[in-house]
Amino acid sequence: MNPMTNIKNVLKLSERELANNSKSSWHDQYKDSAWIFVGGLPYDLTEGDVICVFSQYGEIVNINLVRDKATGKSRGFSFICYEDQRSTILAVDNLNGIKILGRTIRVDHCEQYKAPNADMSKIDEVTAAIRMEGCAPQLLQAPVKPEPVVKVEKEPKIKKEGKVKKKKEKKSKKKKKKSKNRSSSSDSDSSDN
């Protein structure tokens, strides 16, 4: 199929999806892959140039700009892997059909892409792990069990004995003073008579 026809078909799919307000998306069939295909790239772009354009929608963890084996020149298409699969949806919806250096590019999902097996001794550990395991989201094998909740009860407050004794002593002193005042006032009243 003509690349321009593919671009128009993807744009029509997105427009139909917006008009229907459906809960499911045509992107859902690619939910297990974080790879996208980019075609129609200008031949003089490097991996860094492609990363600059496509990293606006997410962190890129792998790129394969396909090159001619004999000359080393770009063949005009590449495969990009994002850290988060949701970034692929943004890239496909927003970058499909745009022009870069006068060329219209095509951006689409890749369902099952594996990076080429190059000489594994020449690549770093992270890239080797990504190539072996892929970079699509992994499903959890077993559900995570929540930890048991331990209730910690607060200890009831205990009044200090010293404070209680002091309060009692103060009360007894006040009573004694009052009784002395009453007795002295009654004594003075009796002496006046």
pLDDT digits (tens, 9 = 90+) for 158-171: 655 555 566 667 76
Each residue of 61-78: pLDDT tens digit? 989 999 998 888 999 999
Q: What is the pTM of this model?
A: 0.55
Q: CB 53: neighbour CB atoms within 10 A? A: 17
Of 65, 67, 100, 92, residue with least CA distance to 80: 65
Question: Does residue 178 surpass a pLDDT of 80?
Answer: no
Residue 187 has pLDDT above 70, yes or no: no
Name the nearest CA neighbour of 54 among 78, 23, 29, 33. Answer: 78
Question: Which one has a higher pLDDT value, 2 or 51?
Answer: 51
CA separation for the pair 40, 133 (Å, rounded): 28
Using CA atoms, how far residue 151 sits from 16, 77, 89, 148, 155, in Å, is 54, 60, 45, 10, 13
16-59 pLDDT, tens digit per residue, is 766 676 666 666 777 778 899 999 999 999 999 999 999 999 99
Ranges of H-type helices in the chain: 3-20, 47-54, 86-95, 125-133, 161-192
Residue predicted with more confidence, 114 or 43: 43
